């Protein structure tokens, strides 16, 4: 048998050996050449003959295996499409889907890009995976997901973006699935906060509050990052919540929680222990005023009584003279009417 007649049998042995075991030194005589084009990679199968350099019946160890995604067919002695999902442009040239693309069916003409919020980071993927919580992907055909930056979070899978932390909340690491409320005595005054800042003097914040609050009237706090305020002590007053209590003056009152000293009314009152009492001048004025008021009342009563007596005198007096025209009545001159006494 001449040299050329040995090729078919040798080639068959080469193919079968490749399929049976990858460690057998007789791989299949199949080479897939990839041609670069503007539309992508187009695989073109090339079957090596015995005349190919380095591959003949005496040197079968240099024969190449089927391309990834293809397998040997005993009937055609060629590499054919793999039965697993992937890209198959035409029989004899199967290619797995590249990263970021998938194909759930076999023998398809194209691979599909992963949707936004999904990714696949290996070739030949039958499906895309959702981005885990704390990450996002805003592009199609994603090979991976991007972790949320500090100050941002993504609480759900397959997110296309990360959301900023709200006021009073923070996230100090990447891949946050949720933001945390600032602890007691601290706050976050801006969105997307990476850390909390302590409450300023004169302010406080409980664990459940979002932002720091100003101390109530009569309370104070001179330290940073406090959970509560202190009431202004007795005999002191606190005009501002961020200053130390001020000692009360000697002539003033400062009960607990005072914002300003309380004084007795000048001239009329004076401080006596823990209360105010009437000043001597005030007592004298009250006495004089009371006397004047009493005298006025007495005079008023006397005047009313005098007016009442005058009215009674007029009622008891004789009838007054009444003029009449001159004339005679019954032959007698009668210039005046007779005056009658009595009631």
For residue 220, pLDDT over 60 is answered with: yes
Looking at residue 340, its pLDDT comes to 53
Per-residue HEC secondary structure of 163-187 comes to EECCCCEECCCCCECCCEECCCCEE
Domain coordinates in residue numbering, the chain: 4-95, 97-186
How much is the pTM? 0.53
The candidate with the shortest Cα–Cα distance to 148, out of 129, 169, 165, 167, is: 165
Higher-scoring residue by pLDDT: 6, 223 = 223
Average pLDDT over residues 129-158: 96
For residue 195, pLDDT over 80 is answered with: yes
Number of C-beta neighbours around residue 87 at 10 A: 26
pLDDT digits (tens, 9 = 90+) for 58-105: 444 445 566 555 666 667 666 666 665 555 555 445 788 999 999 998
3-state helix, strand, coil in the chain (%, to 5): 15, 25, 60
* Among the four given CATH numbers 2.10.50.10, 3.20.20.70, 3.30.70.60, 2.40.50.140, the one describing domain 97-186: 2.10.50.10
Distances (CA, A) of 198 to 5, 213, 324: 90, 12, 111
User: Which of the residue ranges 43-57, 174-188, 298-312 would you say has the lowest mean pLDDT?
Assistant: 43-57
For residue 321, pLDDT over 90 is answered with: no
């Amino acid at each position: 048998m001449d040299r050329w007649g040995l090729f078919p049998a040798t080639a068959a042995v080469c193919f079968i050996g490749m399929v049976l075991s990858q460690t057998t030194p007789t791989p299949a005589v199949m080479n897939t050449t990839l041609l670069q084009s503007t539309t992508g990679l187009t695989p073109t199968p090339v079957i090596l003959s015995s005349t190919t350099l380095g591959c003949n019946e005496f040197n079968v160890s240099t024969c190449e295996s089927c391309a990834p995604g293809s397998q040997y067919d005993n009937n055609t002695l060629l590499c054919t499409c793999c039965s697993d999902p992937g890209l198959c442009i035409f029989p004899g040239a199967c290619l797995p889907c590249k990263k970021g693309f998938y194909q759930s069916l076999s023998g398809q003409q194209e691979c599909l890009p992963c949707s936004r919020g999904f990714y696949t980071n290996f070739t030949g993927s039958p499906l895309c995976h959702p981005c885990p919580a704390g990450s996002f992907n805003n592009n199609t055909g994603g090979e991976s997901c991007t972790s949320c930056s500090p100050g941002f979070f993504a609480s759900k899978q397959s997110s296309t973006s990360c959301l900023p932390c709200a006021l009073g909340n923070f996230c100090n690491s990447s891949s946050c699935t949720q933001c945390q409320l600032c602890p007691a005595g601290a706050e976050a005054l801006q969105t997307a906060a990476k850390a909390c800042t302590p409450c300023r003097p004169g302010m406080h914040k409980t664990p459940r509050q979002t932002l720091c609050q100003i101390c109530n009237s009569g309370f104070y706090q001179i330290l940073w990052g406090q959970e509560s305020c202190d009431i202004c002590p007795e005999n002191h007053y606190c005009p501002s919540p961020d200053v130390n209590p001020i000692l009360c003056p000697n002539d003033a009152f400062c009960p607990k929680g005072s914002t300003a000293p309380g004084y007795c009314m000048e001239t009329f009152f004076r401080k006596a222990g823990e209360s105010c009492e009437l000043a001597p001048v005030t007592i004298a004025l009250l006495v004089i005023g009371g006397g004047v008021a009493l005298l006025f009342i007495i005079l008023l009563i006397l005047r009313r009584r005098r007016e009442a007596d005058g009215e009674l005198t007029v009622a008891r007096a004789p009838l007054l003279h009444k003029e009449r025209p001159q004339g005679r009545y019954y032959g007698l001159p009668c210039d005046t009417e007779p005056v009658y006494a009595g009631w």
